[in-house]
Every structure is written in C-alpha cells, then in structure tokens.
C-alpha cells in the first residue's frame, strides 16, 4: 500500500497516511478538525531502478544482441556497418 502525504489548507498541518488506492482521502484535518480543507500533496516516489535491468537479466533471449544506443545512424545497421565506414575513412585520410 502506498503512503500519501496530505496538508491542511486551514492550519498548514502536514501528515502522512498509509492507505489503499481505492480508499477515499481524509476529509477532516486531524489537528484542527476543519472539514474539506485536506489536500493530497505531490511527492517523489521512494524507489529507484538501478542495475542492469530486468530485461537484460530475466527475459532477454540468448540470440538477442546488445544495441549501443549511443551509436548514431539508422539504428538497425549493427556494428559491421559502422566499422566498415570507419576503416574506409581511416584509409582515405592516411
């Protein structure tokens, strides 16, 4: 269940609440008991996706080749096309 942050517009009291997605937001401030003044705050998520990625480790087939997204071009040429063009450029400049 996610933790939501709320703040009362009347008194400024901020509080967190653990609730289901389907639960209604609180209507009364727990500090000043003002009805209809509680608003949900926008907060950053508290998790971080790090590592090689679930696709690379769990679902990638052995036949799939890694793509280097830093290479420029049409994206589907692979490494053989770029190495051939770089070797011809090196020969022309020598």
Domain residues for 32? 3-40
On average, the pLDDT of the chain sits at: 76
* Residue 15 belongs to a domain: yes
Percent of the chain at pLDDT above 90? 40
* Residue 35 belongs to a domain: yes
**Opening angle at CA 31, ends 39 and 24, nearest 5:** 40
Give the lowest-confidence range in 23-27, 28-32, 48-52, 87-91. Answer: 87-91
Q: What is the pLDDT of residues 58-88, one digit of tens each?
A: 666 666 666 666 666 555 555 554 455 555 5
Over residues 27-49, mean pLDDT? 89
* Residue 67 belongs to a domain: no
* Residue 92 belongs to a domain: no
User: In three state form, how does the secondary structure of 35-83 look?
Assistant: ECCEEECCCCCCCCCCCCCHHHHHHCCCCCCCCCCCCCCCCCCHHHHHH
* Residue 24 belongs to a domain: yes
Number of domains forming the structure of the chain: 1
Give the pLDDT band (50/70/90) at residue 20: very high
Q: pTM of whole model > 0.85?
A: no
């Amino acid at each position: 269940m996610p933790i939501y942050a709320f703040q009362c517009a009347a008194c400024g009291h901020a509080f967190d609440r653990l609730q289901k997605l389907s639960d209604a937001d609180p209507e009364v401030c727990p500090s000043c008991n003002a009805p209809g003044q509680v608003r949900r705050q926008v907060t950053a998520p508290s998790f971080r996706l790090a590592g090689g990625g679930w696709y690379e480790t769990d679902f990638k087939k052995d036949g799939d080749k890694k793509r280097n997204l830093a290479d420029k071009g049409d994206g589907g040429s692979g490494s053989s096309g770029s190495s051939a063009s770089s070797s011809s450029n090196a020969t022309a400049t020598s």
